[in-house]
Amino acid sequence: MPGFVKGEKMKKSRSWLPAALLLYVQFLGGVRGLSQLAFFVIYLEERLHLTPVTISGVIAGAQIAGMLMALLGGGISGRLGVRWALVAGLVLAGAGSLAFQATSPWVAALLWFVGGAGASLATVGSASSLTRISAHGSMGMLAAFYALSVTAGGAIGNPLAGVLIERLGFHALSWAGLVLAALTALPVAVWMAELEDQPSQTTVPRSIGQVMRDTARCPQVRLLIGLRSLPTIFYGALTVLIPLLLNNLTGSKVLVAAYGTTVLVAASAAQLITGRAADRFGALRPGLAAYAVLILAGGGLWLSAETVTGVYAFGVLGNAAAWALATLMYVWVSDGVPKPTHPPTFGLLHAVWSLSMIAGSVLGGWFATTQPGIPFLIAGLLNCGALFLLIVYYRGQSLPTGSAPRY
């Protein structure tokens, strides 16, 4: 009997190893990726002497490369397996660090595009890994910590990168990025065998394009596309407009910085609370609540777009709701989509996220100087439809939560 208990404890301990390793991967990814994103635009301006318009084009090109890779990422994961797709994405993302050593704008842009594509593939692989290793009843909190680990990595990585650049230059940041990429990819390749796919005879012969088309035809996946797109449009408008509104209303950069810090704190708390609620009550009710808060924030921003207090408060509220919904997305996929189709599903959802961010940014830009409250009203009303989509998503499941419905 004591031997049996000891064996069970060892088994339970080993079951958490993949989760801990995945959080480690996300944390180091945040340390490397978010800090490099913050300083790459400065490198392009100071060292390669590019104009702001050209710089924005390079950044947009990397987003497009990431979107295209996301569409392919699900099929690639099906061919290589989730573990090796994650490793390949991390290696390519690390290669993007070499952009800080390029002396030609074209070479720097190409390397940055490669890094963007790799980061997208790694996102698909890590998200698929998350839903594979989660146990029933713990998906919500694991998803919350999964999202928070990237934020924590970025919060630590940004100041470290700034010090490194000031003392040793951009080349040192490039080499540090390569080292971090290696420290991230190697443990996945060696220790995450639990993520190895067991491909079935029905999925291996299909082309990547066929895998993605079949996934997009699934009713549940189509509902998820709407659930992913609508809040992201709102979030894209928030990202563009709120800092501009606060700066225009007050002229205080300190206030804008304080807003960014408040957003991170509130959003992190919202993710943890939402994750816990999803584990305890299921993911439907927290999702409806988060969408309702998002709609409330949209209406509040529309009514108070000319007041500092209203913009600040409802901006923080809207960001917190959007981040909470991002956490719930992993739970929704786990609840309603069969595990073999998680990689292509996450690939589609990541591509939808990219397009929706662009749409929200454009929407915010159109009205930035004339009627800044209108984008929030439009985006908020659009999310009324998400309430209906989420109810349909869960009513369409004939099996208990955590099981996959029949298509």
Neighbours of 202 (CB within 10 A): 8
DSSP letter at 341? G
Burial 329-350, CB ≥16 within 10 A → b, else e: bbbbbbbbbeebbbbbbbbbbb
Q: Give per-residue pLDDT as tens, 35-84.
A: 787 788 788 888 888 886 788 678 778 888 888 888 887 778 767 778 88
E strands within 208-291? none
Which domains, and CATH codes, for the chain?
Answer: 12-191 (1.20.1250.20), 214-395 (1.20.1250.20)
Cα gap 75→210, rounded to integer Å: 9
Neighbours of 134 (CB within 10 A): 22
Q: Give per-residue pLDDT as tens, 347-398.
A: 889 889 888 888 887 787 777 667 878 889 999 999 999 999 999 999 876 4
136 CB-near residues (< 8 Å, 6+ apart)? 402
Identify the sign of the CA torsion 58, 61, 65, 67.
positive
Cα gap 333→33, rounded to integer Å: 25
Predicted local confidence at residue 252, as pLDDT: 76
CA neighbor of 389 nearest in space, from 287, 313, 295:
287
Cα gap 138→167, rounded to integer Å: 44
Reading the block at residue 209, the tokens are: 């394009």
Neighbours of 141 (CB within 10 A): 20
Cα gap 316→359, rounded to integer Å: 21
148 CB-near residues (< 8 Å, 6+ apart)? 268, 271, 272
Cα gap 269→273, rounded to integer Å: 6
Predicted local confidence at residue 142, as pLDDT: 86
Identify the sign of the CA torsion 346, 339, 197, 21.
positive
272 in Cβ contact with 133 (< 8 Å):
no
283 CB-near residues (< 8 Å, 6+ apart)? 140, 328, 331, 332, 335, 401
Cα gap 301→244, rounded to integer Å: 14
Share of the chain above pLDDT 90, in %: 34
Predicted local confidence at residue 328, as pLDDT: 93
366 CB-near residues (< 8 Å, 6+ apart)? 375
Burial 237-250, CB ≥16 within 10 A → b, else e: bbebbbbbbbeebe
CA neighbor of 206 nearest in space, from 341, 299, 42:
341
Predicted local confidence at residue 321, as pLDDT: 95
Cα gap 224→103, rounded to integer Å: 43
Q: Residue type at 86?
A: L
5 in Cβ contact with 12 (< 8 Å):
no
CA neighbor of 318 nearest in space, from 235, 204, 405, 222:
235
Report in angstroms the alpha-carbon separations of 192 from 19, 37, 77, 126, 219: 10, 28, 15, 11, 32
Report in angstroms the alpha-carbon separations of 318 from 34, 152, 253, 257, 323: 22, 21, 21, 17, 9
What one-character-per-residue DSSP string does 285-305 give? HHHHHHHHHHHHHHHHHHHTT
Which residues of the chain, if any, have pLDDT below 70? Answer: 1-16, 52, 56, 78, 134-137, 193-209, 368-369, 397-407
Predicted local confidence at residue 320, as pLDDT: 93
